[in-house]
Structure 1
Amino acid sequence: MRKLTFAMNLSLDGYTAAPGDDLGWSVPSDELFQWWSDRVGGTGLALYGRKVWEEMSSHWPTADQQPGVTLAEIEYARRWRAMPKVVFSSTSRPVDWNTRLVTGDAVSEITRLKAEDGGPMDIVGATLAAAAMRAGLIDEYVLVTAPVLVGGGTPFFTALDSWVNLNLVETRRFPEGVLLTRYETTR
């Protein structure tokens, strides 16, 4: 059975994006960017919600060909293109870069994918993660918390019908006061 992780940058007040989908507060340090790149390199399958997919696919397919690109960005772009991806969207859109589109029930498909053999899966996007969270499918939460209060926006966590007990398995401090905390779900 595959492990499903929800990992994202979030503000100290718990948002993955500020109002208006503003992400300007979450620019990573070089060290944190490398951590995210290594994570992409080790992901067996990434599950994307439509909004995050649109942002990522508008930049990373050709990011390594842009003027002034860094070696770290080149590495990330190559890893991102190579990583198998599934996009969940109710609207049919063409997908590329080692990606397939799912327009049906996300929870059923994620449940099916978890039951397969393969490497770890990451869920990317708070809305998609909320559905998986409510269904009890997430095995690990990775919070990369920036020391900023944005006052609203897209929450990392969703309302749940029952408690989810977690076990802290890692903490790590990054430059600029960013704190990574990793929790496993206890079942």
Structure 2
Amino acid sequence: MRKLIYGMNLTLDGYIAAAGDDIGWGGPGDELFQWWLDQERASSLSLYGRKLWETMSSYWPTGDQQPNATPAEIEFARNWRDTPKVVFSSTIDKVDWNTRLVTGDAIAEITRLKAGDGGPMSVGGAMLAGAAMRAGLIDEYALVTHPVLVGGGTPFFTALDSWVNLDLVETRMFPGGVVLTRYETRR
């Protein structure tokens, strides 16, 4: 069975985007960017909701061609293009860059993918990850918490029907007061 990991940058008050989908508060420094690159390299399949897909696909297909791209950004862009992706959406009709579109039941498809062979999968996007959370499909949470309060927006966590017990497996400090906490779901 494949492992499903939900990890994103978030504010200290728990939001992955401030009001108006503003993510300007969370620019990663070099060390944190390298950590995200390592996570992306370790993932064999990326699952995206529509909004996160639109954000990622608006930049990373050509991110390595930007004039000031760092070596890590160049590698991230190349890895992003090469990694298989699945986008879950009923409002878009076309995806590119090694990506497959699923318009039907996201939970059924994620369950099918988890049951298959292969390496870890990452899930991103609040609505998609929230549905996977409620269905009990997330095996690991990676919270990269930035020292900023935004007061509202898109929360990292969703309302749940029951408790989810977690085990802390890693903590790490990054420059600028950013803190990684990684948890595994206790089964």
Q: Which TM-score tier does this pair reach, normalised by the shorter chain?
A: over 0.9
Give unmatched runs, 5+ long, in structure 1: none
> Is 1:37 paired with 2:37?
yes
CA distance in 2, matches of 1:47, 1:75: 20
Residue 121 (structure 1) aligns with? 121
Residue 50 (structure 1) aligns with? 50
Q: CA deviation at 1:74?
A: 0.6
CA distance in 2, matches of 1:9, 1:161: 24
User: Per the alignment, in what secondary structure is the counterpart of residue 63 of structure 1?
Assistant: helix
CA distance in 1, matches of 2:92, 2:168: 39
Q: TM-score, normalization: structure 1?
A: 0.98
1:43-77 Cα shifts (integer Å, max 9, x gaps)? 01000000000010010001111222221111110
Q: TM-score, normalization: structure 2?
A: 0.98
Amino acid at match of 1:83: T
Alignment of 1:103-182 (within 5 A): 103-182=103-182
Runs ≥4 residues deviating over 4 A: none
> Is 1:83 paired with 2:83?
yes
Give unmatched runs, 5+ long, in structure 2: none
User: Per the alignment, in what secondary structure is the counterpart of residue 118 of structure 2?
Assistant: coil
1:143-166 Cα shifts (integer Å, max 9, x gaps)? 000010010000000111110000
Amino acid at match of 1:163: W
Q: Percent identity?
A: 75
Amino acid at match of 2:64: D
1:91-150 Cα shifts (integer Å, max 9, x gaps)? 242111111000001001000000000000000111100000000000010000001001
CA distance in 1, matches of 2:93, 2:65: 24
- Aligned CA-pair RMSD: 0.7
May I ask how many residue pairs the two structures share in their alignment? 187
